[in-house]
Amino acid sequence: MYNLLISLAVGFLVALLVKLANFSIWAGLVPGLIAAVITFILLARRVASRIQGLMSTVQQDLQSQPTSQKDAQGRVDRAVKTLEKGLVYEKWQFMVGPEIHAQIGMLKYMVKDLEGAQAHFNKGSSRNYMAKAMEAALYYQRDNVPAMKASFEAACKSGKKEPIVWAAYAWCLLQKKEKDEALKVLGRAVEENPKDEKLKGSLAQLQNDKRLKMKPYEPTWWQFGLEAPPMMPPSGGGGRRMQFVTRR
């Protein structure tokens, strides 16, 4: 990555200058290392600031309620183009490319562009729990249960404190007639989040042979597109509000 190479070059130059000042090369190691670290931090912050600017633009565009599916698609198309500008930095800083691909994948998934979403999920960061959970939901819709489980497990690993990830996993397992596995997932979820009342309630529902209700996880649950949201009032427009979710 360019930032790392530049930082190492700066560190080497500082060490060389110390050497040219009639000190031993060993005397230049510490100032050279310090210079390299400082340079890397400054360059990383510069890239992060520019990426955050792109993210903010996307969030602002997606905050309000779309009036139709066409409006929603148009917003996503603009958001994708905005995020793609950030891909120029993927050779400069570690993890920039995978994170942007994960964000684009989520956007495409939310407007039912499953092929486009899959292409970006394949390049996305495994640390983005929401992207991995949506990838799992995509596999669910394609009836690829092993891949669904693998993606949900990755989502639960990076988002173990996120109730929606565990609940979505359990819901999908139930639809695939794997209640015992769903119980195990929610049991793990409660172990990881012992104070979360939503997860405790979901586990109790399954233990009492009741239907798993996803209402406590709305509106984020609607982004998975696995259940239809309730009808919006006439003043609310005809579309579903899109929320731009980033990993923590």
Residue range 29-60, pLDDT digits in tens: 888 889 889 998 988 888 888 888 888 888 88
- Answer with the residue of higher pLDDT: 21 or 19: 21
Q: Are 215 and 47 in contact (CB under 8 A)?
A: no
Residue with tokens 């009808």: 231
Q: Is 64 helix (H, G, I), strand (E, B) or coil?
A: coil
Q: What percent of the chain has pLDDT over 70?
A: 92
Region 61-73 average pLDDT: 74
Residue 20 pLDDT > 70, yes or no? yes
- Tell me, rounded to whole angstroms, the distance of Cα 247 from its chain centroid: 5
The domain spans of the chain are 1-125, 128-225
What does DSSP assign to residue 27? G
Read off the pLDDT of residues 137-150 as tens digits, 9 standing for 90 and up.
999 999 999 999 99
Q: Is 244 helix (H, G, I), strand (E, B) or coil?
A: coil
Q: What is the pLDDT, as a whole number, of residue 234?
A: 42
Residue 78 has what pLDDT?
A: 87
Question: What's the topology of domain 128-225?
Answer: 1.25.40
**For residue 223, is pLDDT > 70?**
yes
| pLDDT at residue 65 in the model | 67
Cα separation, 241 vs 10, in Å, equals: 48
pLDDT higher at 80 or 180: 180
DSSP code of 35? Answer: H
Please calculate the CA angle 91-154-86 and round it to the nearest 5 degrees. 25
